[in-house]
Amino acid sequence: MLNAKLGCSHLFWNYPETNGAGELWKSCAEDFSSNYADLCHLIGTGLSRNVIPGLSLNDSKFVQINSASADTLIHIVDNSVDAVVTDPPYYGTILYAEIADFFYIWQKRILGDIFPDLFTSDLTDKDREAVANPSRFRNMGISPEVLANQDYEAKMALAFAEYYRVLRDDGVMTVQFNHKDSGAWDVLAKSLIDAGFEITASWAVSTENPQNLHQAQKNSVSSTVLLVCRKRDPNAGQAWWDDLRPDVANLVEQRAPEFEANDITGIDLYLSAFGPALNVFSRNYPILDSAGNEVRPEEAFAEARRAIANYRFYKLAQTDTQGFDPLTTWYMLAWDAFRASEFPFDDARQLALAVGGFNVADLAKTYKLLDSTSGTCKFLTPQQRHKKRAFSLVEEEFSARYLIDALHAIITLYLEEQAIEPVRRFLKSTGLLSNDLFMRSWEVALKVIPRIGDERKRIPEEKALADLWLAMDEIKAKVIYVQPELELGSGQQSLNFAQFEE
Ligand SMILES: C[S@@+](CC[C@H](N)C(=O)[O-])C[C@H]1O[C@@H](n2cnc3c(N)ncnc32)[C@H](O)[C@@H]1O
């Protein structure tokens, strides 16, 4: 973690995420010294002597580098720091100290004499490390994972309390966070709020290297959210969640176009919405529901997700979700957010909760939209869904209750028969062509299922729907549109109805 005090700055040593296979010490020292020089430049001070041996130096002594655990900043007095900049660990995503041992033993041999204070122990200090490390809690009678998470959360709370103590009343703190698990967000937000902070702004930025192993395999997000925090007005007092809830949705919808203009799209847009949600949520403390119970930040995140889902759906369909069945809404928003046929199940679950109206477990079990194994899930193709009897292609048995089934039915027919005619007949006999919501779903599907430039790699669903859309004239031309007049008896208006025939 990095802590900077402007004017007289302190930095903490860190275990950098660097490939150590080459000349480790040299590359780390170069990175470190250039970062140090950049920092001095940024805050307008000169380079200090005695920081790192070998640095090019001048006389100024404004920047100091100290090594300390974030939860014990005893060398910094209360209310003295202008800015805290922190990039904390995310539960057990990376066990830094365990990884660092590999390098530590060599660094101790090489640098132990130069920095004896930094190399007092045989290995790195796992006990002070703020990560969720279950191996420290084996054989204690309670799940090691539960204990490790509790330990991590307690350490984060202590670190935030220390930051609060050292920060000036008008100081600012930025917290970098990119964990996709909404539970981790809830805990982070709660401990920030408990420590006395409010979240005043949030910025989503692309930072992490997507090639990083931990990023590629776990919780990969392309952007990180920087939360800007300040000390909360101690007189702010409590508020009612029912009063704040609409403000969360309004602010999220207001900020969404701004995020999009900065290329924050897909699932990152949902993640970025947490910032504005926290902004509203953290101004007062505590937030109470109508029964007087304290509301957790996760309620604000759920509201934020709903607001983004509504915002995106409106943008895609030019109308709200009214009339669209929830399954179709979820399917469109899932393609829109994930842009791939495979995505983490938890994200699918969160999106389903945002859309509402069906049980998440039924996505795989009943509706057969997904195949899910060990945390990841995959859209089933229309043909796979048909084989699993998610819908029928027999016109008399077909139900358009879920518009996604209707879309998948025509895709299946087209791909299996390799012809437009069976699709035309199906659309005719089921009346789907005159179903405005169906036609609109078709248009939305064409917008959200990614169109891949290389013809051979196109997603079959997208290709089938696009081919059929282009053949719409042909499909409609063979349909004779008949509008017989029905006399409904004297005094009653005559009604027109549409019917498709050969
Ligand atoms: C997400 S990483 C920060 C990476 C850093 N921004 C960089 O670019 O290298 C979190 C860091 O917090 C460090 N850390 C873990 N426990 C700590 C503690 N108690 N005090 C200070 N730093 C700690 C880890 O070693 C790790 O380097």
| Of the residues 233, 255, 275, the one at which a domain ends | 233
Q: How much is the pLDDT for 5?
A: 35
Residue 364 in any domain: the answer is yes
Can you give the pLDDT at residue 209?
Answer: 47
User: In this structure, is residue 58 part of a structural domain?
Assistant: yes
Q: Can you list the residues of the chain whose pLDDT is less than 70?
A: 1-22, 24, 45-63, 180, 206-223, 478-502
Domain containing 215 equals: 9-233
pLDDT tens digits, 362-403: 999 999 999 988 888 999 999 999 999 999 999 889 888 999
Do 61 and 175 lie in one domain? The reply is yes
Taking the model in full, what pTM does it have?
0.75
Query: Cα of 168 to ligand 1 centre, how many Å?
Result: 23
Residue to mutate (ligand 1; options 96, 207, 219; most atoms within 8 A of CB):
96
Can you say whether residue 184 is alpha, beta or left, with left for phi > 0 and alpha for psi between -120 and 50 degrees? alpha
Rounded to the nearest 10 degrees, how much is the dihedral formed by the CA atoms of 132, 138, 142, 143? 50
Q: In the listed set 233, 263, 295, which residue is the last one of a domain according to the structure?
A: 233
CA–CA gap between residue 405 and residue 400 (Å, rounded)? 7
What are 175-207's pLDDT values in tens digits?
Answer: 998 776 777 788 889 999 999 999 998 877 765
Nearest atom in ligand 1 to 2's CA = 6
Does the N-terminal peptide bond of residue 286 adopt cis geometry, omega within 30 degrees of 0? yes
The amino acid occupying position 368 is K
What is the CATH classification number for the domain harbouring 220?
3.40.50
Instruction: Specify if 493 maps to a domain.
Output: no
- Given 206, 233, 260, which residue is the final one in a domain? 233
Please tell me whether residues 364 and 217 are part of one structural domain.
Answer: no
Question: Does residue 81 form part of some domain?
Answer: yes
Centroid of ligand 1 to alpha carbon of 467 (angstroms): 52
* Any ligand 1 atom below 6 A from CB of 89: yes
Based on the fold, state whether residues 96 and 228 are members of the same structural domain: yes
- Examine the domain organization and report whether 222 and 359 are in the same domain: no
Q: How far apart are CA 85 and CA 88, in angstroms?
A: 10
- C-beta separation of 78 from 165 below 8 A: yes
- Contacts of residue 430, defined as CB under 8 A and 6 or more positions apart, other chains included, come to 395, 398, 400, 406
115 and 221, same domain (yes or no): yes
Whether residues 198 and 337 share a domain: the answer is no
Q: Is residue 219 part of a domain?
A: yes
Asked if residue 228 and residue 340 are part of one domain, the reply reads: no
The pLDDT, as a whole number, for residue 95 is: 94
For residue 201, the model assigns a pLDDT of 87
Same structural domain for residues 335 and 226? no
Domain contains 497: no
Best substitution site from 14, 18, 99 to test ligand 1's pocket, by max atoms within 8 Å of Cβ? 14
Does a structural domain hold residue 317? no
Question: Could you tell me if 238 and 286 are in contact, meaning their C-beta atoms sit under 8 angstroms apart?
Answer: yes
Q: Which of 229, 228, 204, 406 is nearest to 308 (CA)?
A: 204
Distance 1 CA to ligand 1 centre (A): 4
Largest Cα–Cα distance in the chain?
107
The CA 87 to ligand 1 mean position distance, Å, reads 7
Query: Going by C-beta distance under 8 Å and a sequence separation of 6 or more, which residues neighbour residue 112?
Result: 119
Residue 412 forms part of a structural domain: yes
- The verdict on 154 and 13 lying in the same domain is yes
Residues 421-454 as b/e (b if ≥16 CB within 10 A, e otherwise) read ebbbbbbbebebbebebbebbbebbeebbeeeee
Helix (H) / strand (E) containing 200: strand 197-206
Total domains, the chain? 2
